[in-house]
Structure 1
Amino acid sequence: MAMLDVKNLSISFGGLKAVDDFSITIEKGQLYGLIGPNGAGKTTIFNLLTGVYKPDGGRILLDGKDITGHKAIQINQAGIARTFQNIRLFKELSVLDNVKVGLHNHHKYSTLSGILRLPSYYKVEKEMDERAMELLKVFDLDKEFDYKASNLPYGKQRKLEIARALATEPKLLLLDEPAAGMNPNETAELMKTIRFVRDHFDMTVLLIEHDMKLVSGICERLTVLNFGHMLAEGPTSEVLSNPEVIKAYLGE
């Protein structure tokens, strides 16, 4: 069974078809890329998959479960987490507390317990601290656990955002232009991180990216969008050598 199975997804804004009849199938454990020119509809698809937008048509199945039109919190709890092109950390919170935000899906206490600081509150907080530190250690961020998130270098902020997404225990991780703003050394480190996440967490990954070195280096399959329509789909090397893709996307 596919981890993600999307059929005939469509949405319009003000009469303009932003995504038209989009379909994609991603198998469990795949590293899959979604590419295309600016304005092609890639982020709109991420917003449809995560419940920010409700589709006008089509369906979305996650691990066999129909999540079409569900609310964002329901979709996150079902197993989809994402990062953003513009990093969205809680900059004034500590590195540890940023990860703990993601843990609240699975570690909960009552409002009363939190206000009165009852034993159940301290028990859950201890569990979250321990789990957050485990995740930070995976990304070599445990020594900076008490830093403000804003004080981390850019590349480590990207890692922290991925760690926070993983704290929600997703089945499918969506990465929205993870290499944006990175230098070549940071991008090379990011490639290692994404591969490690897939292997260590048994994760399925779908990413949007403009950095072709990263895309060709880690993605096993690609789908190319152009003006909301699918232009090509298949193994990465075949798609990147497709003349239509080169003309529409690479501009050669």
Structure 2
Amino acid sequence: MALLDVNNLSISFGGLRAVDDLTFSIEKGELYGLIGPNGAGKTTVFNLLTGVYKPTEGLIKLDGTDITGHTTIDINQVGIARTFQNIRLFKKMSVIDNVKVGLQNDKELSYSTLDGILHTPKYRRIEKEIEQRALSLLAVFGLDEEKDVLAANLPYGKQRKLEIARAMATKPKLLLLDEPAAGMNPNETAELMETIQLIRDKFEMTILLIEHDMKLVGGICERLTVLNFGRVLRQGSTKEVLSDPEVIKAYIGE
């Protein structure tokens, strides 16, 4: 059974069909790409998957559970986390505190207000566990030595990594990455590619990626869907899709 099943998904804004009859599925552990030019509807799809928008038609299932039209909070709690094209960090908080925010979704790491006020043994135990989990995640991303640095003071590429680390802190089943290479130089993009592959392998993570950098897409994605004005132009293996003349002509510009 696929981890994510999207069937006949559609949404309209004022008569404009932004996403039209989209169907695709992603297997557990797969690294899947969603590509197309600006305005093709890619980010709208992410907004539908995460509950920002409610679809006009269609069905979304995560691990067999219907999540169509659920709230953003509910969808995050059942296992979808995302990053954004424009990095959204708590810039005035430390690196480790950004990750701790993501860990707050874990019910095992919760305590009462009274525990917090009185600094009970439960409070101290859970706070220690939160600290250890946050440090472990930061180590995966090579950010543990910068745990006390303000997020705003990190280089751009490391801010990207931190945003992904914070998303991973919510323990998702499916990670949505929205143009993670945007604004990066070639060296940062190469490091990002390694990071994404590491996440998939270490955590057996299923990843859906929106990206314009075709070198990155071709280097890590196993299958692709290409959107054109909200409709599917081509679907299939990465090699087949990227060699399709219509895809090359319309989206890669070669």
TM-score of Structure 1 vs Structure 2, range by shorter chain: over 0.9
Residues 1:32 and 2:32 aligned together: yes
SS at match of 1:180: coil
Alignment-derived partner of residue 132 in structure 2 = 130
Alignment-derived partner of residue 159 in structure 1 = 161
Distance 2:26 2:44 in 1: 18
Residues 1:234 and 2:236 aligned together: yes
Counterpart selection for 2:184 from 151, 174, 182:
182
Distance 1:40 1:111 in 2: 46
Distance 2:140 2:249 in 1: 41
Shift of 1:108: 1.3
SS at match of 1:77: helix
Which residue identity does 1:127 align to in structure 2? E
Counterpart selection for 2:114 from 101, 112, 115:
112
Q: Percent identity?
A: 75
Distance 2:102 2:58 in 1: 29
Alignment-derived partner of residue 52 in structure 2 = 52
Deviations 1:107-161 (A, max 9, x none): 2122333344333322221111110001011111111111101111111111111
Distance 1:56 1:2 in 2: 23
Distance 1:82 1:6 in 2: 17
Alignment-derived partner of residue 170 in structure 1 = 172
Deviations 1:15-54 (A, max 9, x none): 1110000011100111110000100000000000011111
Which residue identity does 1:208 align to in structure 2? I
Which residue identity does 1:27 align to in structure 2? E
Alignment-derived partner of residue 143 in structure 1 = 145
SS at match of 2:195: helix
SS at match of 2:21: strand
Q: TM-score, normalised by structure 1?
A: 0.98
Which residue identity does 2:201 align to in structure 1? D
Which residue identity does 2:59 align to in structure 1? R
Distance 1:146 1:56 in 2: 45
Aligned residue runs from structure 1 range 8-87, under 5 A: 8-87=8-87
Distance 1:166 1:105 in 2: 11
Which residue identity does 1:187 align to in structure 2? T
State the aligned residue count: 252
SS at match of 2:92: coil
Q: TM-score, normalised by structure 2?
A: 0.97
Distance 2:84 2:124 in 1: 32
Alignment-derived partner of residue 218 in structure 2 = 216
SS at match of 2:130: helix
Distance 1:245 1:111 in 2: 55
RMSD over aligned CA atoms reads 1.0
Query: For structure 2, which runs of at least 5 residues remain unmatched after alignment?
Result: none
Distance 2:70 2:35 in 1: 25
Residues 1:99 and 2:112 aligned together: no
Deviations 1:155-179 (A, max 9, x none): 1111111110000000110000000
Distance 2:133 2:252 in 1: 42
Counterpart selection for 1:200 from 199, 202, 208:
202
SS at match of 1:124: helix
Distance 1:99 1:162 in 2: 9
Distance 2:239 2:135 in 1: 38
Distance 1:14 1:137 in 2: 46
